[in-house]
Chain A
Amino acid sequence: EPEVTQTPSHQVTQMGQEVILRCVPISNHLYFYWYRQILGQKVEFLVSFYNNEISEKSEIFDDQFSVERPDGSNFTLKIRSTKLEDSAMYFCASSDWTGGSPLHFGNGTRLTVT
């Protein structure tokens, strides 16, 4: 069964550095998402992406965040000037349509900001 893959599985960075989290969504899916889960807390929506542009974003997704689909397969989340509070699991997901279509998640990237 097709999977969403995320790399790296664990990223450690120093405060103030930039990080790029990478995802390869399922190939025939059209909608892409990033979610964040701070340890022990709920899964929070960051951003959705369709047709090469952001469809919706949350209040968390401020100017330090950006997303890109640089080619036909990758979907990236960039965090500029990381802060300690950015430490979390970041999950990429994709779906073949919006509304009632379920999300397919990757296994996440654990970001640790020191």
Chain B
Amino acid sequence: AQSVTQLDSQVPVFEEAPVELRCNYSSSVSVYLFWYVQYPNQGLQLLLKYLSGSTLVKGINGFEAEFNKSQTSFHLRKPSVHISDTAEYFCAYTGGFKTIFGAGTRLFVKA
């Protein structure tokens, strides 16, 4: 079955530390991959997307992700996090007429 798997449900990290949020996709999914962020009481916002081309994609707020076909991964990274990055992060893929989201990773940035 097509899916994306987010390996960590929660990631606590100190401010200004680097962070990696992990996402693996099943090889049968399309290669349209996304990361979205959800701040409290808001809808989801696009962070970045991979459609084709360069495997390193840069998004908003200093985030980037690398598409790795051999490892079927699309991990999200930021070299130095801020308190304001505390949010829920969702990896997603599109298939047919829908976008399917992973279970989410709660990033909690501590001072």
Contact = CB atoms under 8 A, between A and B. Distances in A.
Interface of A: 4, 31, 33, 41-45, 48, 50, 55-56, 58, 91, 93, 98-100, 102-108
A91 B44 contact: yes
B42, B44, B97: which has the most chain A beta carbons within 10 Å? B97
Interface in B8-55: 30, 32, 34, 36, 41-46, 49, 51
Interface residues of B, number: 23
A31, A45, A48, A100: which has the most chain B beta carbons within 10 Å? A100
B101 A43 contact: yes
A98 B104 contact: no
Given A4-B43, A105-B45, A107-B41, A100 B94 contact: yes
Nearest to B31: A100
B34 A107 contact: no
B77 to A, nearest CB: 19
A105 B30 CA distance: 22
Given A99-B94, A100-B49, A45 B43 contact: no
A105 B96 contact: no
Report, nearest first, the 10 A-B pairs whose CB atoms are least far apart. Answer: A105-B43, A55-B97, A56-B97, A48-B97, A100-B51, A102-B46, A43-B101, A100-B32, A42-B103, A105-B44
B104 A42 contact: yes
A36 B101 CA distance: 11
A104 B42 CA distance: 12
A91 B32 contact: no
Contact of A50 (B51, B97, B102, B103): B97
Contacts of B90: 43
A42 B46 contact: no
A94 to B, nearest CB: 11
Interface string B44-87: 11100101000000000000000000000000000000000000
